Chains A and B, each alone.
Chain A
C-alpha cells in the first residue's frame, strides 16, 4: 500500500507536478487574481512598474516564440517545475550542509547510510 521507496515518491511527485505545470496550467482561469483585481478596482494597479525580467522570452509563463497559448504556458510550466525542483533541492542541500558543518548533534537527524559522504571541512 503506498509507495515504498523515497525515490518512487520523488518520481510520482515530479510527474504529477509536471502534468499540473505542463498540461493543467493551460486550462487555468485567466481572469485577474484577487490582488490584481483589487488593484484595478481601487486604481493603484497603475503604480506597477515594468518588471526587470519582463522582456525575457519566458516572461509571464509563456514561451515567446510559440503561438499556441496552451503549449506555450505548458512548456514554461515544465521548465519552471524542473528549475524549482533543482533550485529547491540545491538550497536544501546547502541548508543541510550548514547544519552539519556546525558539528550539530546528529542524533535527531537520520542515521547515515553507508557511502554517505562527510561534509567538506
Chain B
C-alpha cells in the first residue's frame, strides 16, 4: 500500500506535489542527454520489472508484510535520474489500480522514488568508492544502499507526517513504528536488490549503470551484439 489520499492535510499533499514535480523535472533534465536509443526500452523494462516485483509482498513480522521500493535497484541499473523516473512511472500506473492516492502521488513519488533512487544512489556511490568496482563489491554496495534507502524513505515519511499528517496520531510514535518496521522491510529490499543486480551483472554487466564503465562509452556497438 502506498500513501492513500487523506493521510495528509491538503496543504501537505499539495506541497508534496510541487516538490515532486520539481524533482521529476530535474530528473528529466539530467537524464535526457544520456538516454541512448538502447537505454529507452531498457528503462521501460526496469519500470515494468519493478512494478511486477512490487506486487509480491513478503512477510516481515506477524501480521505485517513489506514490498520492494526499487529505487536503488533502478538507480544501479539505469542511473539515478532515469531510475527515479522509472519509479515515478510505476507509481502512476499503480495509481490506476487504486494503489496510492492521486493527491498523494507527489508524496509517494518523493518517498518511494526520489529519496530512494537519488539518496540511495549517493550511498551506493560512496560505498563503491570504498569497496571498489568488482562485481561482488557492486552487489554488496547495492544491497547496503538499498537497505539504507528504505530507512531514509521511512524517515522522510515520518517527518512529512509530523508536519502535515492528518489524524491525531503521535508523530513520535508514528516515526518509531515506521522506522522499526522498515528496518525489517529494508532487509527484504537489500536481498531482492542484490539478487537482481547480481543476475544482471552475471549476464550483461555492460548494462549496469552502477558498474560505471563500458555502458557509457560505446553502448550502441555493444547493443548490436558485436564485441565491444
- Chain A residues in contact with chain B, CB under 8 A? 1-6, 9-10, 13-14, 16-18, 20-21, 24-25, 27-39, 41-44, 46-49, 51-54, 56, 58-61, 73, 76-77, 80-93, 95-96, 98-99, 102, 104-105, 108-113, 116
14 A–B contacts, CB within 8 A, in A order: A17-B45, A25-B55, A32-B63, A33-B1, A37-B64, A51-B5, A60-B97, A84-B48, A88-B89, A92-B41, A95-B32, A96-B40, A110-B37, A112-B37
Complex CA distance for A58 and B215, rounded to whole angstroms: 38
A-B contacts counted at CB < 8 A amount to 260
B97, A59: Cβ atoms under 8 Å? yes
Counting contact residues on chain B (CB < 8 A from A), the size range is 35 or more
The answer to whether A53 touches B96 (Cβ under 8 A) is yes
Complex: A8 Cα to B203 Cα, angstroms: 11
B122 cross-chain contacts in A, Cβ below 8 A: none
A2, B204: Cβ atoms under 8 Å?
yes
A96 CB contacts on chain B under 8 angstroms:
32, 35-37, 40
Residues of B within 8 A of A77 (CB): 52, 55
Instruction: Out of B43, B64, B166, B173, name the residue touching A88 (CB < 8 Å).
Output: B43
Residues on the A chain within 8 Å of B63, using CB: 31-32, 37
- With contacts A3-B204, A47-B166, A84-B90 known, is A25 near B5, CB below 8 A? no
